[in-house]
Amino acid sequence: MMSMLYQAFQNQMDLTEPWRAGAASALRYLNLVPQGTSDRMFGRLAAALELISRSALSYARPPYGIDRVQVGNREVAVTEEAAYATPFGSLLHFRKQEGPEQPRMLLVAPMSGHFATLLRGTVKTLLQDHDVYITDWHNPRDIPLARGRFGLDDYTGHLIDFLGRLGPRPHMVAICQPSVSALAAAAIMCEDNHPSRPATLTLMAGPIDTRIAPTKVNEFAKSKPLRWFEDNLINYVPVQCKGAFRKVYPGFVQLTAFVSMNLERHLKQHLDLANHLAKGEMEKAAAIKTFYDEYFAVMDLTAEFYIETVRDVFQQHLLPRGKMTFRGRPVNPAAIRRLGLMTVEGEKDDICSIGQTLAAQELCTGVRAYRRVHHMQAGVGHYGVFSGRKWNNEIYPLLRDFVHVNS
């Protein structure tokens, strides 16, 4: 029965779509009513209609919306180009028009229920001083079953392929979950003396060794047998979708878990949104809508990728125990040589605690001491490591200098 939950959810969304479309149409007509003595009544009605029209999830990637960026003392235009693509992901290039030559950088986005656009702020900051590419992962519900599987090895293999497209001495920055795959890819490429092995590897708030100061997220992953995750979280993609019958960890299930962790906050935000709309406070309403447009854009995970990540990273800790393999080959972090290694952690990170990312420094014994950097940022949680004021003003300058010294 659990495997049919996704189909039931999709059926419900399809059945209620006319209500949302009707509310959106009514709102457009209501906005034509002249302002007058009934503004308060019309404001409340408009707020209700807008909330109804927004009561659905999106399974399409939102736009990055990065059209221009400041480079030095001038502003340059930015265009998005898919430099390479597979069924499961694109190597997306943010190409600057007439910009100076800068270090090529692969930003590795996590597969954790949201699209890579969650890192648009990170991208915009990095673009000031780097030629940035990102792993733009595709939604498995849109990928036909005939395209095959996508597991943890496939993720790592994509990183190796993507780096190969960037040419010699690219730089790699991995955010959160993919830190394990990024380190594995660097180890394999260094061992093979690959011409595109990274010049620097930066791991930010990543679960290299979750045995260190386990968080609630880590404890939950170990509290259940693997079969529990398979039986309770894995569903089939609905028949209405291109990826019909593919086994996935559905995005809406992941989002439900995220929302339940801060339910009161999300309820308050939507009450605030209704009040702002009713009062005509459009600027305040727009800020909340922008956040939830991104937050409610969800992406499924292939079942094999999710289950293998839970097993290999969070339950069996294969990488720090020296047991991890890539397509049957042992992954040897000690093989990583002739590159710079930077690790970044947040003091208040309740998803990836202090010490879990730093563990990479001990594993990579082949990296010279003068090429190692570790930074613990005071006063930030998980997302503050790669977004927000302290990322821009305190963490990024260190990363920028580290990359340029090792270019």
What digits encode the pLDDT tens for the residues 309-335? 999 999 999 999 999 999 999 999 999
Name the band, by pLDDT with cuts 50, 70 and 90, for residue 33: low
In this structure, what token pair is assigned to residue 158? 């994509």
Residues 271 and 337 in one domain: no
Residues 207 and 306 in one domain: yes
Q: Among the three residues 295, 324, 349, which one is the final residue of a domain in this structure?
A: 295
CATH code for position 353: 3.40.50.1820
Cβ neighbours of residue 41 closer than 8 Å, sequence gap 6 or more: none
Q: Among the three residues 295, 323, 356, which one is the final residue of a domain in this structure?
A: 295
Residue 8 belongs to domain spanning: 2-56+251-295
Residues 167 and 312 in one domain: yes
Residue 144, in any domain of the structure: yes
Residue 206, in any domain of the structure: yes
Q: In this structure, how many other beta carbons lie within 10 angstroms of the beta carbon of residue 368?
A: 11
Residues 188 and 259 in one domain: no
pTM here is: 0.90
Residues 266 and 400 in one domain: no
The pLDDT value recorded for residue 13 is 76
pLDDT digits (tens, 9 = 90+) for 80-97: 999 999 999 999 999 998
Residues 132 and 161 in one domain: yes
Residue 226, in any domain of the structure: no
Residue 236, in any domain of the structure: no
In terms of Cα–Cα distance, which of 27, 15, 26, 25 is closest to 56? Answer: 15
Range from 15-29, 120-134, 141-155 carrying the lowest mean pLDDT = 15-29
pLDDT digits (tens, 9 = 90+) for 219-264: 999 999 999 999 999 999 999 999 999 999 998 888 777 677 677 8
Residues 323 and 181 in one domain: yes
Mind giving me the DSSP string for 121-178? Answer: HHHHHHTTTSEEEEEEEPPGGGS-GGG----HHHHHHHHHHHHHHH-SS-EEEEESTT
In this structure, what token pair is assigned to residue 226? 């693997």
Residues 323 and 199 in one domain: yes
In this structure, what token pair is assigned to residue 253? 């299930």
Radius of gyration of the chain (CA): 23
Q: Which amino acid is at 142?
A: D
Residue 63, in any domain of the structure: no
Residues 164 and 184 in one domain: yes
The pLDDT value recorded for residue 98 is 81
In terms of Cα–Cα distance, which of 126, 81, 87 is closest to 108? Answer: 126
If you ran DSSP here, which 8-state letter would residue 374 be given? E
In this structure, what token pair is assigned to residue 374? 């570790």
Residue 351, in any domain of the structure: yes
Cβ–Cβ under 8 Å, residues 100 and 93: no
Residues 312 and 215 in one domain: yes
Q: How far apart are alpha carbons 337 and 406 in whole angstroms?
A: 13
Q: How far apart are alpha carbons 12 and 16 in whole angstroms?
A: 6
Mind giving me the DSSP string for 7-34? Answer: HHHHHHHHHHHHHHHHHHHHHHHHTTSP
